[in-house]
Structure 1
Amino acid sequence: MSWPEQPVLYEVNTAVWLGELSRAADRTVTLGDVPPSAWREVTPAGVDAVWLMGVWERSPLGLEMANADPGLRASFHEALPDLRTEDVLGSPYCVRRYVVAEEFGGDEGLAKARAELAVRGVRLVLDHVPNHVAPDHPWVAGHPEFFVRGEDGEIELGRDPYFPAWPDVLQLDAFAPAYRAAATATLGSVAARCDGIRCDMAMLVTNEVFARTWGRTPPERDFWPEVVGGLRERHPETVLIAEAYWDMEWSLQQQGFDFCYDKRLYDRLVGGGDVRGHLRADPEYQAELLRFLENQDEPRIAGELGQEAAKAAAVVIATLPGATLWHKGQFEGGRVRPPVFLARRPDEPPDHDLAAWYRRLLALAAEVRRGEWRLLDAQGWPDNQSCRRLLTWSWTAAGTTHVVVVNYSDRPAQGLLPVRVRRYTDLLDGTVREQDLSPLYVALEPWGCHLFAVA
């Protein structure tokens, strides 16, 4: 199944989701027998792919370590006050084997899930962790040459250059030719079971970062061009997504990734910053970014921003070029993000009105994001420069133009847009207006948004 140029992804925590479905059905539900109503829920109009996060077999040793860690246990109880023993599964990024966990239905169940998604015209995305594996992964005994070793000869714990090591995983050697060949084969085995692969902490195995982390001299060829090149020979259609930080998005795009996390935009939307300046980057570069407000690692947006601000941020994310990512529970206004070690989240009353708003936004965005994208500059007056608070852009395709206007601030804003129109419809509220051909005047309350279809 071919991919759209600007795919919309919906992330599902597999363990949590299947647990909720099982409790609702009073039976064990696996990926092989998810009811149609549940598939409809995670594939609303406008969604092109479902990312089933955490399907692989987790490490029993990693689970023991997680349960023995006081800090982790405290985070489990904070997210789930009525924590039970069976709620803790271990980390999905402490992978023992790249086979689907039996409790989720195994590889056979995953194949059925992929078929169900394909019937709906939706693609499947899975994870790959290139930097480390579980301490009981078969490679530890069978392929010691795949790992980084310390001066004492022991395999090093996995880590990045800025933080302490992760105690439950072992560090793979990104410079070892044997491991690079094995990584190519592993990626290929994952690609055979899905349509896209999200590579965890993809920047850690680049020559630049790995050399800095471990004080090693890098080989001539970088990790990803070698590994991705091998993958493309057998699976040219597989979309590769890089979890990317530290301003390495462009570098990873050049090394073979189709989309890279846009963490800078997230930080600016949530923490404050120059969003407009961020959007002045080259459109071709932006077309290969993945925009998000939530994922399994970031806090719930409902807990970070007020509802109106969160909706304004969602309009921004939904209507920009590139890929977009949405997180199960985000639409319903969930506030608790359970640690990925857990198989259950607390019960929270869903906001059905908010969920309906999000689903409508995604459907509208699928209509809007076509053709050429152009960042617009609103103009003000000598005594009123509130236009600087407006984020504005247009999409033009086959004679149809859509204009997005967001007042991303807690104060009113007005401005003139360089768009000459006779008639325009705000798709968000259905309002139809007419005016002469002068520039489009807008006035928005704090966090207000327009999504115009103009003529």
Structure 2
Amino acid sequence: MTERTWWKEAVVYQIYPKSFSDADGDGFGDLPGVIDRLDHLERLGVDCVWLNPVYQSPQRDNGYDVSDYRAIYPEFGTMDDWDRLLEELHARDIRLVMDMVPNHTSSDHEWFQRSRSEPDGEYGDYYIWRDGDPDEPPNNWESFFGGSAWEYDAEREAWYLHLYDVSQPDLNWRNPDVRDAMADTMNWWLEKGIDGFRLDVVNLLSKAEGLPDGDPSNDWTGSEHFVNGPRIFEYLDEIHENVFAGTDAVAIGEMPNLDLEHARRYTAPDGPLDLVFHFEHVGLDFGERGRWDVGDWDLLDLKETLDRWQGGLDWNSLFFENHDQPRSVSRFGDDERYRYESATALATILLTLRGTPFVYQGQEIGMTNGTFESLDDISDVDTVRNVRELIAAGAVADYESIRHVVEHRTRDNARTPMQWDDTAHAGFTDGEPWIPVNENYADINVASERERTPSVLSFYEALIDLRREREALVYGSYDIHRPDDEQLFVYTRTLDDDQVVVVINFSDSAATADLDALDAEASLLCGNYDDVAAEPNGPLELGPYEARLYGQSA
């Protein structure tokens, strides 16, 4: 029997505060803006908020470049604003998970400034430095954002490692003082009353001894030497013991290039983490050049991947969107002809598989990808640097020749402002937004979704309510049916004598389903089409992207 915990029963809502709601009119989302919108979250029915970084930061990577872990970036507000947010959330029985960035800091952080200026001082070994020829990096490792993962610092006259942006130097986790400092920081936030952490790229903390060259044929050169590195379990076990042990705080690890074998070890009963984010299913549409190419995928690929992880882990993190992923209805559905139907079909998968669902802001109203006419319109440092690298290498001629990939893939798709209503700038701000609002905001927004019947939003609310009412949708076993069907995604969730049958036509054409899994006495619990019979009567006739949930005795 699976141990019952709050984070298994929760539906988590992710807030990217820079783009959520702006209370002071400066065009930049803030904590008071989040507080102003909490009634929306309460009505939606979520149980927990995951808040993207709000720490002091120069914002070169939108807050994942932290310059002070114990201060709030002024554009977001003050620590008093943060305290009020926590209080308001807890008053609504909504928990708060903070985003922690343990692999790297900003180059503006005091630790790095002192490390570069005082090599023999207290912070000299806080980062990964290597001496050498200023024109020859220490190895061939690549940054995830493109180019070399090394930068030569003229002040220290040495190279430092940055697996992400040049302004994000990697911390040296071999140094026990670094590990203690991060544990102290996390405990400081837990003592303020938060309910856990999402740990950014946490499987990259350990780098191989000697920092050897990587295989250039890998999508991320060098990754075999820093993904799930040699001391990673030692470091994470230490975090667990010094931070999470003896609390009910949740530990969620974001883990690039994660395989199922390592995921099992990380989340085993004696493992250091409760949940992990893997990215296999959101890599199905990668092309021959990896993520900066668009490839073909089909439902069989998606079902096989999700089914393998459902069977391989006791508990999954369920998501299709986050601040680093494009909008799911544009990526996996049909954001034009069948936006409502495909968005709600995706919602059905998200909220009925076994695991903890994560809903990203705007996903609950079916927000879509945007358009970006030139590279100058892109704010995402990852996109800009990679596109420039591709152009410089001659892999693409110019921006226009890769624009279709950018508009499919860029993280800016997830970062356009939340669409609240059809007023100027979608009700996000009274000022000029830091990034343009999606042009379709007049039609797709919270206010119109509240008035529309049916709507993506009302379907999310109904599914979240149903998940709370039917424990089989939380703790029930998962069994897939018709795995080789190219249109239908069918599975059952079973707990004791209660069973929920999930039937989804995940295609843009009608489908017929004659299901052995469905009893004649089953009753319709929820569906995204109107005028469906309360009880099945022979084979099911399903419209494009139609989803139904039936309840029956096991």
Whether TM exceeds 0.5 here: the answer is yes
Q: What residue ranges of structure 2 are gaps of 5+ in the alignment? A: 115-121, 150-164, 215-221, 286-295, 371-412, 418-432, 450-454
Partner of 2:541: 443
Q: 2: distance between equivalents of 1:162 and 1:22?
A: 33
Shift in alpha-carbon separation, 1:417–1:333, aligned structure 2, 3 A: same
Which residue, 247, 267, 285 being the options, matches 1:236? 247
2:320 to 293, 296, 301: 293
Distance in 1 between the 2:98 and 2:87 partners? Answer: 15
Deviates more, 1:217-226 or 1:305-314: 217-226
Percent identity between matched residues is 21
Aligned to 1:148: 128
Is 1:14 matched up with 2:17?
A: yes
* Residue of structure 2 in register with 1:256 after alignment: 272
1:236 CA drift (Å): 2.0
**1:266 and 1:293 in contact (8 A); partners too:** yes
Equivalent residues of 1:33, 1:109 under 8 A apart? no
The range that moved more, 159-168 or 414-423, is 159-168
Which of 3, 8, 11 in structure 1 is aligned with 2:6? 3
Cα shift at 1:117: 0.8
Aligned equivalents of 2:539, 2:502: Cα separation in 1: 13
TM-superposed deviation, 1:124: 0.5
Change (3 A) 1:5 1:172: same
Separation of aligned partners in 2, 1:367 and 1:403: 15
Rounded Cα–Cα distance in structure 1 between residues aligned with 2:272 and 2:363: 30
Q: CA, structure 1 residues 271+126, in 2 after alignment: closer, same or farther (shift >3 Å)?
A: farther
Matches within 5 A, 1:274-293: 274-281=301-308, 285-293=312-320
Q: Is the 8 A contact 2:343 2:456 kept in 1?
A: no
Relative to 1, partners in 2 of residues 1:388 and 1:33: Cα closer, same or farther, differing over 3 Å? Answer: closer
Contact between 1:135 and 1:170, CA under 8 Å: does it hold in 2?
A: yes
RMSD of the alignment, in Å? Answer: 3.7
Secondary structure of the structure 1 residue equivalent to 2:256: coil
Matches of residues 189-268 of structure 1 in structure 2 within 5 Å? 189-193=188-192, 194-206=194-206, 213=222, 218-219=230-231, 222-233=234-245, 236-248=247-259, 249-254=263-268, 255-268=271-284
Q: Is the alpha carbon distance of 1:279 and 1:328 closer, same or farther for their aligned partners in structure 2, counting shifts above 3 Å?
A: closer
Residues 477 and 494 in structure 2, CA contact (< 8 A), matched pair in contact too: yes
CA distance in 1, matches of 2:467, 2:460: 10
Map 1:330-409 to 2 at 5 A: 330-335=363-368, 336=370, 337=413, 343-346=434-437, 348-349=441-442, 350-351=444-445, 352=449, 353-368=455-470, 369-378=473-482, 387=485, 389-397=487-495, 399-409=497-507
* Cα deviation code 1:16-72 (max 9, x no counterpart): 2242x334xx99996368655x1111333431111121211112xxx5xx5xxxxxx
Q: 1:246: Cα distance to partner? A: 1.3
Question: Aligned letter for 1:11?
Answer: Q
Task: Give the TM-score of the pair, scaled to structure 2.
Answer: 0.65
Matched-pair contact (CA < 8 Å) for 2:329–2:342: no
Deviations 1:268-312 (A, max 9, x none): 499435233234437575443211121111112233231233332
1:414 match: 513
- Contact kept, 8 Å, 2:203 with 2:232, in 1: the verdict is no
Structure 2 partner of 1:425: 524
Which stretch of the first structure deviates more once superposed, 409-418 or 10-19? 409-418
- Once the two structures are TM-superposed, the CA of residue 208 in structure 1 deviates from its matched residue by 6.8
Contact 2:15 2:52 in 1 (8 A): yes
Q: CA deviation at 1:200?
A: 0.9
CA contact (8 A) 1:338 1:345 kept: no
Matched, 1:43 2:42: yes
Which secondary structure state, in structure 2, belongs to the residue aligned with residue 179 of structure 1? helix
Once the two structures are TM-superposed, the CA of residue 160 in structure 1 deviates from its matched residue by 5.3
Deviations 1:123-169 (A, max 9, x none): 10111111110112121215222110022499999975795332111
SS in 1 for 2:516: strand
Secondary structure of the residue that 1:447 maps to in structure 2?
A: coil
| Contact 2:19/2:29 (<8 A) preserved | no
Which residue in the other structure is 1:87 paired with? none
Cα 1:91/1:125, change in 2 over 3 Å? same
**Structure 1 residue aligned with 2:111, among 139, 142, 145?**
139
Paired residue for 2:81, among 109, 121, 124? Answer: 109
- Does the alignment pair 1:95 with 2:66? yes
Are the structure 2 counterparts of residues 365 and 262 from structure 1 closer, same or farther at C-alpha, using a change threshold of 3 Å?
farther
Question: Relative to structure 1, is the Cα distance of residues 279 and 169 closer, same or farther in structure 2, using a 3 angstrom cutoff?
Answer: closer
Aligned residues: 412
Q: Secondary structure at the match of 1:281?
A: helix
CA distance in 2 between counterparts of 1:7 and 1:251 reads 23
How many Å separate the matches in 1 of 2:257 and 2:34? 38
SS at match of 1:146: coil
Stretches of structure 1 that go unaligned for 5 or more consecutive residues are: 67-89, 380-384
Please give the secondary structure, in 1, of the residue aligned with 2:255: coil
Larger displacement relative to structure 2 (222-231 or 271-280): 271-280
> After the TM superposition, which residues 40-79 of structure 1 pair with which residues of structure 2 at under 5 Å, given as runs?
40-59=39-58, 63=59, 66=60
Q: Partners of 2:235 and 2:478 in 1: how far apart?
A: 35
Deviation at residue 253 of structure 1 after TM alignment: 2.3
Whether the 8 Å contact between 1:50 and 1:122 is mirrored in structure 2 is yes
SS of residue in 2 equivalent to 1:293: coil
Q: Which range moved further: 197-206 or 411-420? A: 411-420
Report the TM-score when normalising by structure 1.
0.78
Q: Distance in 1 between matches of 2:531 and 2:276?
A: 34
> C-alpha distance in 2, partners of 1:425/1:130?
46
C-alpha separation between the residues in 2 aligned to 1:280 and 1:29?
38
Q: Look up the equivalent residue of 1:232 and give its one-letter code.
A: F
- The residue identity in structure 1 corresponding to 2:253 is A
* 8 Å Cα contact 1:190/1:197 also seen in 2: no
1:16, 1:345 within 8 Å by CA — same for their partners in 2? no
Question: What amino acid is the match of 2:308?
Answer: A
In the TM superposition, residue 96 of structure 1 has moved relative to its aligned partner by 0.5
Report if the CA contact (8 A) 2:18-2:29 is conserved: no
Q: Please give the secondary structure, in 1, of the residue aligned with 2:43.
A: coil
CA distance in 2, matches of 1:28, 1:294: 22
Partner SS for 1:266? helix
Give 1:111 shift.
1.8
Give CA deviations for 1:223-256 in whole Å, capped at 9, x if unaligned. Answer: 21122221124x6211011112213433432441
Higher strand content, 1 or 2? 1
- Contact residue 12 and residue 50 of structure 2 kept, 8 A: yes
Distance change (3 Å), C-alpha of 1:236 and 1:247:
same
Secondary structure in structure 2 of the residue aligned to 1:275 = helix
